[in-house]
């Protein structure tokens, strides 16, 4: 009788517990408290808060292919694995002194981290964060470079740039016990960040110390690195650069790329067939993120200080400014829902995240968050370079 009563109670409790799907989950990074909020993008709710994640001043996040786990890369060299379904920190390691992001492999089994200090890339298993490979970024005797622009690429590869060396490296991890390196030297001075095109073909590194960009065709690596867009340079600028643009925030919309100009109040429109600039769009400040709505019809732009309380929208058909919004203080990051009907915007100095309807630009919701500086949705699990 007691056993039946216990089983009945257990069944009743389980039947009341709502199952949670992972496809509409995400993380909002709270910069100063070293925390991450697990949020539901459909109901606009905070589900949990995960604390003690370390220095999240430049945090980035990737997701497991089943969208259950989020891997958070901290500036203090930490790598944290969060269970989005159980609302808990599964594991946290400190693998370096200073790191700048990471990536998850094509098969979802490996996590790679880009390190400033001591310089190099470390690769871990996704299931238990066991070290698989340690790849020092040594470019001369006793000299290691800061690693930037680390992305995943098709073929179980990771691609990254060496800031101090002016090089791009590819590491093939098909055999995790024997990584294969391919190095491209003299690609330009001080590559500061990079992106990979949505289909995984082109790796493009921004250069802070030289005019133009460095482009590597991953379908034809034997052709080497090509210099493109000599106009994309800060050398002729008199404006101070308040915040470097994030290349992962560039947009590809149809036949064109929309790119923030370093130190200028401009967004460049680039023909991705010819790699030539076809339009300079004047915007109100120095752009940081230039992000396309998933249907590529709108381009949303945020700005460096002192214009970081505003957003501007570019019409991808006419290459003109269609709207200007003033959501709040210190707009740091944006993230679209998978099909683009909404955009979430982090307002660091208002301690809020605001959600907009991207069709009528009406505010849908606001969520409290302590100094939010990054928003990452689990749908990123299905995108290359995210």
Give the DSSP per-residue string, 90-124. Answer: EEEEE-SSEEEEEEE-TTS-EEEEEEEETTEEEEE
Q: pLDDT per residue over 101-149, tens digit each?
A: 999 999 999 999 999 999 999 999 999 999 999 999 999 999 999 999 9
Helix (H, G, I), strand (E, B) or coil at 224: coil
Give me the torsion for CA of 260, 383, 104, 385, rounded to 10°.
-30
**Structure tokens, 257:** 């790329």
- Taking the domains of the chain in order of start, what are their residue ranges? 95-228
Alpha-carbon Rg for the chain, nearest whole angstrom, is 21
* CATH class of the domain defined by 95-228: mainly beta
What long-range pairs does 273-277 form, CB within 8 A, spacing at least 24?
Answer: 275/215, 275/228, 275/229, 276/229, 277/229, 277/231, 277/232
Q: What is the pTM of this model?
A: 0.91
- Rounded Cα gap, residues 362 and 123, in angstroms: 43
- Read off the pLDDT of residues 191-250 as tens digits, 9 standing for 90 and up: 988 989 889 999 999 888 888 889 999 999 999 999 988 766 555 554 455 455 566 667
């Amino acid at each position: 009788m007691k056993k039946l009563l216990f089983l009945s109670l257990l069944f009743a409790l389980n039947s009341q517990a709502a199952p949670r799907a992972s496809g509409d989950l995400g993380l909002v990074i709270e910069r100063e408290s070293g925390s991450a909020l697990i949020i539901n993008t459909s109901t606009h709710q905070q589900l949990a808060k995960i604390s003690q994640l370390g220095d999240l001043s430049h945090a980035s996040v990737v997701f497991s292919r089943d969208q259950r786990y989020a891997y958070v890369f901290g500036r203090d060299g930490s790598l944290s694995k969060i269970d989005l379904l159980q609302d808990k920190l599964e594991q946290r390691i400190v693998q370096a002194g200073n790191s700048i992001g990471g990536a998850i492999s094509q098969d979802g089994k490996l996590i790679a981290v880009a390190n400033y200090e001591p310089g190099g890339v470390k690769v871990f298993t996704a299931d238990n964060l066991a070290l698989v490979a340690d790849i020092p970024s040594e470019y001369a005797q006793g000299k290691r470079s800061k690693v930037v622009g680390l992305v995943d690429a098709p073929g179980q590869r990771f691609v990254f740039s060496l800031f101090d060396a002016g090089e791009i490296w590819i590491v093939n991890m098909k055999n995790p016990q024997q990584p294969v390196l391919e190095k491209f030297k003299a690609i330009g001075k001080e590559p500061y960040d990079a992106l990979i095109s949505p289909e995984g073909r082109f790796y493009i590194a921004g250069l802070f110390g030289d005019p133009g960009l460095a482009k590597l065709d991953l379908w034809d690596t034997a052709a080497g690195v090509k210099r493109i867009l000599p106009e994309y340079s800060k050398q002729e600028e008199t404006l101070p650069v308040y915040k470097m643009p994030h290349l992962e925030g560039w947009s590809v919309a149809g036949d064109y790329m929309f790119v923030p100009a370093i130190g200028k109040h401009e967004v460049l429109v680039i023909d991705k067939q010819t790699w030539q600039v076809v339009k300079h769009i004047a915007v109100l400040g120095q752009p940081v993120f230039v992000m396309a709505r998933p249907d590529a019809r709108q381009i949303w732009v945020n700005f460096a200080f002192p214009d970081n309380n505003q957003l501007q929208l570019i019409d991808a058909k006419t290459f003109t400014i269609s709207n200007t919004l003033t959501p709040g203080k210190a707009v740091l990051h944006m993230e679209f829902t998978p099909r683009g009907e909404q955009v979430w915007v982090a307002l660091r100095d208002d301690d809020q995240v605001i959600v907009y309807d991207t069709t009528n630009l009406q505010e849908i919701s606001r969520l409290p968050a302590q100094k939010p500086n990054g928003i990452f949705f689990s749908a990123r699990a299905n995108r290359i370079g995210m």
